[in-house]
Amino acid sequence: MAIKGRYFMTDHSSIYTLGKEPYEIVRAFCPDICSKMNEFSIEILVTRGGRIGSGMGALLEGLWGYMANQLLFDENEHFFDIAWMPDNQYNDFTIVEKNVSWNPDDRTGELFRIEAKSMNRQADESKAHFDVLKKELGKNDSLLILVWEWAAIDKTHRYPKVIDYYFGRALDVVELRDTLHVLRGGSFVSSSNCPDGCNPATCPHDGEPLNASRIRERLSGPDSTKGNKVSYAANFGGLVRMLKTSNTSAKSAFQKYRSTDTPQEAFISFIFRNYPDEEKNHYGINQLRAVARQRNIDPAGLSKEDLYDLLKHDNPNRCIEELRYCN
Ligand SMILES: [Zn+2]
């Protein structure tokens, strides 16, 4: 049966019956997509060794798109496809309406976009950056992050296994990222007051981030804000780094997000459970001691390292829940 018009306005599509937006449907499929990826990888992407920085992350991001398309296609009830953004160096996807012509320039036929990132859990620090500007995002544009590691199949063979993922609205992460950026002393260019002295009507720099030293964070920032040694700072939007808080006001804003059930909290917990050192570094020993006392553990004489390990002992793959509510 041909579906006319935009399907969420049609009468009988299963999506309408489900009462879910396409964003919610793709999100609901994420666990299945990751399982399917791992089934594929354990068959095909088997290797001896397993180098970090092998380009495997980019391959996995692409694989997510193929598997998502296959699952959504297999279902045959969903009236959209996953398309690759053309002319883009990353694996970024667009959810487009099936059988509707698509124009990426004006977003005709698009439902929402997905920016895909991957992080290797065994790497010291993730290089993944999410530095898209707020003004470039639509309501349901999403951020997908795949966390993977080299998992052993036998004594000599390994495969890249997806062990966790994040899928959420990009604007929610942007809110957290931009709030902490400003509290660290950073700022955003306003076209009405551009450091390059642009005409406000044509300034292309509106919303570009500058760091606390007024150096541009992205190559596309104002020319007059280049650094001395580097053309741009490139710290903005580091998926792990964006959570750093160096002063009281940043810490208190951070804890405000953490102590509520917000999408921002979901993102922070996602990073902390996959990079526990970040969680440990974020909190002081007094906060860990307070949690220990809540659990009737005497923290006397324990180093921060030991204390953290002890508190994580029961479930190393979870965040320390009590730290969400500490002062
Ligand atoms: Zn400008």
Give the distance (Å) from ligand 1 centre to CA of residue 85. Answer: 27
Q: Which residues contact 244 (CB under 8 A, 6 or more apart)?
A: 180, 184
Q: Is the pLDDT of residue 284 over 70?
A: yes
- Rounded to 5 degrees, φ, ψ at 167 are -140, 115
Q: Is the pLDDT of residue 214 over 50?
A: yes
pTM (2 d.p.): 0.90
Q: Residue 228's pLDDT is what?
A: 87
232-279, pLDDT tens digit by residue?
998 999 999 999 998 999 999 999 999 999 999 999 999 999 999 999
200-207 average pLDDT score: 97
Helix (H, G, I), strand (E, B) or coil at 192: helix
Partnered with residue 145 across adjacent β-strands are 117, 166
For residue 189 the two structure tokens come to 């260019």
Half-sphere exposure of 215 (CA within 13 A, CB side): 13
Query: Where do the H-state alpha helices sit in the chain?
Result: 14-18, 22-44, 56-75, 170-183, 248-258, 263-274, 276-282, 285-294, 304-312
Give the distance (Å) from ligand 1 centre to CA of residue 225. Answer: 11
196-210 average pLDDT score: 97
Instruction: Give long-range contacts, CB 8 A cutoff, 24+ apart: 104-109.
Output: 107/138
16-33 average pLDDT score: 80
Give the distance (Å) from ligand 1 centre to CA of residue 236. Answer: 19
29-40, pLDDT tens digit by residue?
999 999 999 999
Cβ–Cβ under 8 Å, residues 29 and 15:
no
Give the distance (Å) from ligand 1 centre to CA of residue 196. Answer: 5
Q: Quote the mean pLDDT of the chain.
A: 88
Query: Whose CA is closest to 82, among 94, 98, 67, 64?
Result: 94
Q: Is the pLDDT of residue 126 over 90?
A: no
Give the distance (Å) from ligand 1 centre to CA of residue 202. Answer: 8
210-230 average pLDDT score: 94
63-116, pLDDT tens digit by residue?
999 999 888 877 666 678 888 887 765 568 999 988 889 988 888 889 999 999
131-149 average pLDDT score: 94
Query: Whose CA is closest to 8, among 115, 135, 111, 124?
Result: 111
Query: Whose CA is closest to 8, among 298, 138, 18?
Result: 18
159-173 average pLDDT score: 96
Residue at 208: amino acid letter: E
Give the distance (Å) from ligand 1 centre to CA of residue 197. Answer: 6
Q: Which residue has the higher pLDDT, 124 or 81?
A: 81
Give the distance (Å) from ligand 1 centre to CA of residue 229. Answer: 22
Give the distance (Å) from ligand 1 centre to CA of residue 206. Answer: 7
Cβ–Cβ under 8 Å, residues 179 and 192:
no
Give the distance (Å) from ligand 1 centre to CA of residue 223. Answer: 9
Helix (H, G, I), strand (E, B) or coil at 135: helix
Give the distance (Å) from ligand 1 centre to CA of residue 205. Answer: 4
Give the distance (Å) from ligand 1 centre to CA of residue 115. Answer: 26
The helix (run of H) or strand (run of E) holding residue 118 is strand 110-120
β-pairing, 142-152 vs 110-120, is parallel
Q: Residue 308's pLDDT is what?
A: 97
Residue at 153: amino acid letter: I
Cβ–Cβ under 8 Å, residues 247 and 184:
yes
Give the distance (Å) from ligand 1 centre to CA of residue 190. Answer: 8
Give residue 130's pLDDT band: very low, low, confident or very high (50, 70, 90). Answer: very high
Q: Residue 124's pLDDT is what?
A: 63
